[in-house]
Structure 1
Amino acid sequence: MTSLISTSAEAAHSLAVSLLSKAQIQPGAIIPEHSVKETAPDTVVPLKFHGKNVIVGVPGAFSGTCTVQIPGYIQNYDRFKAKSVNEVYVVAVNDVFAMKAWKEHLAPAGTSVRFMADDKGAFTSALGLMFDATPKFGAPRSKRYVIIAENDKVESIFIEEDPSKVTITGAETVLSHLT
Structure 2
Amino acid sequence: MTSIITTSAEAAHSLAVSLLSKAQIQPGATIPEHPVKETTPTSSAPLTFSGKSVIVGVPGAFSGTCTVQIPGYINNYDKFKAKGVNEVYVVAVNDVFAMKAWKEHLAPTGTGVRFMADDKGTFTSALGLMFDATPKFGAPRSKRYVIIAENDKVESIFIEEDPSQATITRAETVLSHLT
Per the normalisation by structure 2, the TM-score is 0.96
Q: Distance in 2 between matches of 1:65 and 1:12?
A: 29
CA contact (8 A) 1:13 1:140 kept: no
Q: Distance in 2 between matches of 1:105 and 1:88?
A: 18
Please name the residue that 1:153 is paired with: 153
Please name the residue that 1:45 is paired with: 45
How far does residue 5 in structure 1 lie from its aligned partner after superposition?
4.5
- Specify the SS of the correspondent of 1:70: helix
Give 1:20-169 correspondences, 5 Å limit.
20-169=20-169
Percent of pairs with identical residues: 88
How far does residue 21 in structure 1 lie from its aligned partner after superposition?
0.6
Q: Distance in 2 between matches of 1:176 and 1:44?
A: 32
Deviations 1:28-83 (A, max 9, x none): 11111111000000111221211100000000000000000000000000000000
Unaligned runs of 5+ in 2: none
CA contact (8 A) 1:13 1:134 kept: no
Q: Distance in 2 between matches of 1:134 and 1:177?
A: 33
Q: Distance in 2 between matches of 1:81 and 1:149?
A: 14
Cα separation, partners in 2 of 1:85 and 1:11, compared to 1, 3 Å: same
Unaligned runs of 5+ in 1: none
User: Match for 1:136: what amino acid?
Assistant: K
